[in-house]
Amino acid sequence: MWIVLTYDINEKRVNSIRKICALYLIRVQNSVFLGEIGWANLRILRDKLKDKIIESEDSIQFFILRDEKLVRRIKLGVSYEFSNII
Amino acid sequence: MWIVLTYDINEKRVNSIRKICALYLIRVQNSVFLGEIGWANLRILRDKLKDKIIESEDSIQFFILRDEKLVRRIKLGVSYEFSNII
């Protein structure tokens, strides 16, 4: 599977959330990660994030695709793929 | 087509970018919009945004899918679908 993960996280928690995401995905914008991931790791990632966030304050969205080929990407402006740089 | 649009925009320009995106898509997080859109409108949206951003500072990504059914969404925490509220 290939996923895009986006988040809005309270300043107090954003670094710890970023560190967890960087273990599994590549950061492409401040609050956007993406990459190939299996179901088992996706469940682990989701549960780790669920433990860290405060549900009434923070927001995380997973956009899950069977295959990267199903999505076409267009980028405007600066494009950086942080390979695990937090 | 169904798209997810994510951005990192300089504070000075973010409101004008948000207003343009809200004309075509639904805001689901601070810097994430999504929704159904045709090719013609997608080109118009892309060109309007291209005119506004400073390419060396701002970043916009379009994730374009043929159909919403191709993506599965999981949401953690707060979930708000701003229907054109900026």
Q: Is residue B81 situated within a structural domain? A: no
Average pLDDT, chain A: 93
Q: Residue A50 is part of which domain span?
A: 2-67
Q: Is residue A36 situated within a structural domain? A: yes
Tens of pLDDT along A14-55? 999 999 999 999 999 999 999 999 999 999 999 999 999 999
Largest CA distance in chain A: 36
Mean pLDDT, residues A73-77:
95
pLDDT for the residue numbered A80: 74
Q: Is residue B10 situated within a structural domain? A: yes
**CA-to-CA distance for B54 and A81, rounded, in angstroms?**
19
Q: Is residue A28 situated within a structural domain? A: yes
Q: Is residue B82 situated within a structural domain? A: no
> Distance (Å) from the C-alpha of residue A47 to the closest C-alpha of chain B?
10
Q: Which residues contact B82 (CB under 8 A, 6 or more apart)?
A: B22, B26, B27, B28
Residues 13-72 of B with CB under 8 A from A: 28-32, 46, 49-50, 53-66, 70-72
Whether B81 shows a pLDDT value over 90: the answer reads no
Mean pLDDT, residues B56-73:
95
Task: Tell me the CB-side half-sphere exposure of residue B43, using CA atoms within 13 A.
Answer: 2
Q: Is residue B76 situated within a structural domain? A: no
Number of domains in chain A: 1
Asked if residue B58 belongs to a known ligand binding site, the reply is no
Percent of chain B with pLDDT over 90: 91
Taking CA atoms, A45 is separated from A28, B33, B66, in Å, by: 18, 23, 27
CB neighbourhood size of A20 (10 A): 17
Strands A2-8 and A59-65: antiparallel
CATH of residue B10's domain is 3.30.70.240
Q: Is residue B11 situated within a structural domain? A: yes
Q: Which residues contact A40 (CB under 8 A, 6 or more apart)?
A: none
> Distance (Å) from the C-alpha of residue B37 to the closest C-alpha of chain A?
14
Q: Is residue A79 situated within a structural domain? A: no
ipTM, interface predicted TM-score of the complex: 0.90
Tens of pLDDT along B19-59? 999 999 999 999 999 999 999 999 999 999 999 999 999 99
